[in-house]
Amino acid sequence: MYVCSCFGITDKQVKEHAAAGACTPRQIASATKAGTDCGSCVRTIQGILGRGACPRRELLEKGDAAAVLAAAPTTAPAPQLVEAA
Protein backbone atom coordinates (compact mmCIF):
# COMPACT_ATOMS: atom_id res chain seq x y z
CA MET A 1 0.00 0.00 0.00
CA TYR A 2 1.28 3.47 -0.85
CA VAL A 3 1.82 5.65 2.18
CA CYS A 4 3.22 8.67 0.35
CA SER A 5 1.76 9.25 -3.08
CA CYS A 6 3.99 12.31 -3.65
CA PHE A 7 7.14 10.16 -3.69
CA GLY A 8 5.71 6.66 -4.20
CA ILE A 9 6.75 5.33 -0.76
CA THR A 10 5.05 2.15 0.43
CA ASP A 11 4.30 0.89 3.91
CA LYS A 12 6.84 -1.87 3.27
CA GLN A 13 9.57 0.71 2.68
CA VAL A 14 8.61 2.59 5.86
CA LYS A 15 8.75 -0.67 7.83
CA GLU A 16 12.15 -1.54 6.35
CA HIS A 17 13.56 1.84 7.39
CA ALA A 18 12.00 1.44 10.84
CA ALA A 19 13.65 -1.96 11.18
CA ALA A 20 16.95 -0.32 10.21
CA GLY A 21 16.59 2.16 13.07
CA ALA A 22 14.37 5.03 11.90
CA CYS A 23 12.11 5.77 14.86
CA THR A 24 10.38 8.99 13.90
CA PRO A 25 8.57 10.41 10.87
CA ARG A 26 11.44 12.88 10.51
CA GLN A 27 13.95 10.04 10.23
CA ILE A 28 11.72 8.33 7.67
CA ALA A 29 11.55 11.63 5.76
CA SER A 30 15.34 11.89 5.79
CA ALA A 31 15.63 8.42 4.31
CA THR A 32 12.74 8.51 1.81
CA LYS A 33 11.43 12.10 1.44
CA ALA A 34 8.00 10.81 2.57
CA GLY A 35 6.15 13.55 4.43
CA THR A 36 8.22 16.40 3.02
CA ASP A 37 5.89 17.56 0.25
CA CYS A 38 2.18 17.81 1.11
CA GLY A 39 2.55 16.19 4.54
CA SER A 40 -0.67 14.19 4.39
CA CYS A 41 1.19 10.90 5.01
CA VAL A 42 2.88 11.93 8.26
CA ARG A 43 0.07 10.59 10.46
CA THR A 44 0.06 7.30 8.55
CA ILE A 45 3.82 7.02 9.05
CA GLN A 46 3.34 7.74 12.77
CA GLY A 47 0.76 4.95 12.87
CA ILE A 48 3.13 2.50 11.19
CA LEU A 49 5.97 3.40 13.55
CA GLY A 50 3.68 3.19 16.56
CA ARG A 51 4.86 3.89 20.04
CA GLY A 52 6.97 0.80 20.38
CA ALA A 53 10.54 0.50 21.46
CA CYS A 54 13.13 2.46 19.55
CA PRO A 55 16.62 0.97 19.88
CA ARG A 56 18.32 4.29 19.12
CA ARG A 57 16.20 6.17 21.67
CA GLU A 58 16.88 3.50 24.29
CA LEU A 59 20.63 3.83 23.74
CA LEU A 60 20.43 7.61 24.08
CA GLU A 61 18.44 7.31 27.31
CA LYS A 62 21.14 4.99 28.67
CA GLY A 63 23.74 7.61 27.78
CA ASP A 64 25.37 5.54 25.05
CA ALA A 65 25.53 8.22 22.35
CA ALA A 66 28.62 6.62 20.80
CA ALA A 67 26.64 3.47 19.99
CA VAL A 68 23.87 5.57 18.43
CA LEU A 69 26.34 7.43 16.26
CA ALA A 70 28.05 4.19 15.26
CA ALA A 71 24.70 2.69 14.26
CA ALA A 72 23.57 5.78 12.35
CA PRO A 73 23.28 5.24 8.63
CA THR A 74 26.09 6.88 6.73
CA THR A 75 25.40 9.24 3.92
CA ALA A 76 27.31 9.43 0.69
CA PRO A 77 29.91 12.18 0.58
CA ALA A 78 28.91 15.32 -1.26
CA PRO A 79 30.17 15.45 -4.82
CA GLN A 80 33.25 17.59 -5.31
CA LEU A 81 32.84 20.58 -7.55
CA VAL A 82 35.53 21.04 -10.16
CA GLU A 83 36.25 24.49 -11.54
CA ALA A 84 36.11 24.79 -15.29
CA ALA A 85 39.29 26.13 -16.85
- From first to last of the 85 residues of the chain, give the pLDDT tens digit: 999 999 999 999 999 998 888 889 999 999 999 999 999 999 999 999 987 667 666 666 677 656 555 555 544 455 556 666 6
3-state SS, residue 75? coil
What secondary structure does DSSP assign to 41-74, as a single string? THHHHHHHHTT---HHHHHHHTT-HHHHHHHSPP
What pLDDT is attached to residue 81? 63
56: how many CB neighbours lie within 10 A of its CB? Answer: 18
Q: What is the tally of helices (H) and strands (E) in the chain?
A: 5, 2
Which sign does the torsion angle of CA 30, 35, 41, 47 carry? Answer: positive
What pLDDT is attached to residue 76? 46
